[in-house]
Structure 1
Amino acid sequence: MKPLSNWHARLPKFIAEESTGKELPELTDVPTWIIDPIDGTTNFVHKFPLTCVVIGLAVKKEVVLGIVYNPILEELFTARKGRGAFLNGKPIHVSKVQDLSKALVCMEAGFIKIDNLREKTVERLQDIIKAAQGIRTLGVAAITLCYIALGIVEAYYIEGPGISTWDIAAASLIISEAGGVVVDRITGEPIDIMKPRAVAACNDKIARDIVKIIREADQRVDMRTK
């Protein structure tokens, strides 16, 4: 029998908030667990009931399993690649809303407190408020994304400090398996989970509308600050 000289290369890898430094490790073809033990930490501290455990599994750089569990409300969102999305074992599907003017959109307005993001966050927020039916801030990325899959939120824009791969990996699969989309807010292309600057939506049209609003808002801010 040949010695397993490269046995360590076959072991699963882990990307987790509590064990990863400032620089994310490269995602490889090796099976990789992507974990956040507590998403929505501020909510957890304040006993606000939207907080969760997030577990994703990527194989050959593709997320194939997603689990998001809120133990307070006992909401267990799950998805396997090609098998659909579920809440507590029951199939879920995204909203059928096609018009942004009838959509409920989530953003994290707290980024206004960050100096280098303040102007663009305010500009984006103003424009989305004008275009959408309503705006909500829930303070927890993974659950908000899952609420798109559940069909009670139409879109979510997420980017900024504190947002990383573990916030979107599992939930992005849950959304896609429920019939929705998650795209890069700059390119509009399908999301790269290692670059978590995401626009998630119940369909391509609303996702494109949000991407366009953000792009135009940023351009106006850049023109004013030149």
Structure 2
Amino acid sequence: MSQLDAYYEVVLSLVQEAGAVIRDKINRPKDIMTKSCDIDLVTESDQQVEKLLIDGLSSKFADHKFIGEESSSPGEKIELTDAPTWIIDPIDGTMNFVHGLPHTCVSIGLLIDKVPEIGIVYNPILEQLFTARRGQGAFLNNSPIHVSNQKELSKALIMLEMGTSKDPEKMKIVMENLHVLTPQVHGLRALGSAALDMCMVALGGADGHFEFGIHAWDIAAGDLIVREAGGICIDPAGGPLDLMSRRVLCAATTELAQELAKSLIQYYPERD
């Protein structure tokens, strides 16, 4: 077994354990706390799942590093080094989780030398396990998946999110993009989870996704899953994707990605 095989086997088992926690807690009363604002939520389950993942991985791979949503100090700059680094969102879609909406997931990606090697997004409520390893394709519940190959914005179903910020400038840009895109696209959708939105693009159920203000842990796994499904992930202005920029655009094709990027009103949040 190669090192990467071992990493994958261990993380997959831990993600399934984490999924069992989410499945058990989603319809129970929750201890809810706020972070940056009153819609940026965290629960005891977010913290429990992140601890489960970090403790489980560090006990097996002592030299690995971690970037986790709940263990990263608010406002502190995240450092991504060349060391094997797990980037973790223990519950992406916490607002959905709090309300009992079943679009919520564990999202975890492994980067080595800053190159994505493993991506897993698991929605345990709907039993959707999205997985990818570099160069080996993308899968939903072990069945191969592929992007839609849509090239035209006018025929595209686009995923987007409002985000968890009430910053007036950010909200203004979100609403302007809704106004700009609505007449140009086939439809707009939001699941409340960037990771699941990206997986819908990988699955071919949607054709593109963009968001401003997300974090590395929202997109690290989805980035690899989309690309291994034949899609593209870039910066929303059209350049290369930077996981720390808090900006993402993914699409089924390069043509669609560039057309969508040209249509967007841009917003540049503070970097991670």
TM superposition score category, shorter chain reference: 0.7 to 0.9
Give me the whole-angstrom Cα distance separating, in 1, the residues matched to 2:196 and 2:187. Answer: 18
The offset of 1:138, in angstroms, is 1.1
SS in 2 for 1:106: strand
Q: Give, as a single letter, the amino acid of the residue that structure 1 aligns with 2:63.
A: L
Q: Does 1:11 align with 2:63?
A: yes
Identity of aligned residues (%): 49
Q: Relative contact order: is structure 1 or structure 2 higher (C-alpha 8 Å, sep ≥ 6)?
A: 1
Give me the whole-angstrom Cα distance separating, in 2, the residues matched to 1:125 and 1:30. Answer: 39
- Structure 1: state its 5+ residue gaps: 1-9, 220-226
With 164-173 and 103-112 compared, the bigger mean Cα shift is at 103-112
1:36-51 correspondence runs (5 A): 36-51=89-104
Q: Which residue of 2 aligns with 1:170?
A: 221
Give me the whole-angstrom Cα distance separating, in 2, the residues matched to 1:131 and 1:31. Answer: 41
1:94 to 120, 126, 147: 147
Give me the whole-angstrom Cα distance separating, in 2, the residues matched to 1:20 and 1:43. Answer: 22
Q: Does 1:75 align with 2:75?
A: no
Show CA shifts across 1:134-182 (max 9, x none): 011111110110010000000111112xx21000001100000000011
Give me the whole-angstrom Cα distance separating, in 2, the residues matched to 1:33 and 1:53. Answer: 13
Give me the whole-angstrom Cα distance separating, in 1, the residues matched to 2:191 and 2:89. Answer: 17
The count of residues paired between Structure 1 and Structure 2 equals: 205
Q: Which residue of 1 aligns with 2:199?
A: 146
Runs of 4+ in 1 over 4 A off after TM superposition: 110-113
SS in 1 for 2:183: helix
Q: Give, as a single letter, the amino acid of the residue that structure 2 aligns with 1:86.
A: F
2:230 to 179, 185, 202: 179
- Structure 2: state its 5+ residue gaps: 1-61, 268-272
**Contact persistence 1:111–1:121 (CA under 8 A):** no
Relative distance call for 1:111 and 1:26 in structure 2 (3 A) is closer
Give me the whole-angstrom Cα distance separating, in 2, the residues matched to 1:191 and 1:41. Answer: 25
Q: Does 1:211 align with 2:272?
A: no
Q: Which residue of 1 aligns with 2:80?
A: 27
1:190 to 240, 253, 259: 240
Q: Which residue of 2 aligns with 1:59?
A: 112
Show CA shifts across 1:58-96 (max 9, x none): 000111100000000000000000000000000000002
Give me the whole-angstrom Cα distance separating, in 1, the residues matched to 2:165 and 2:136. Answer: 39
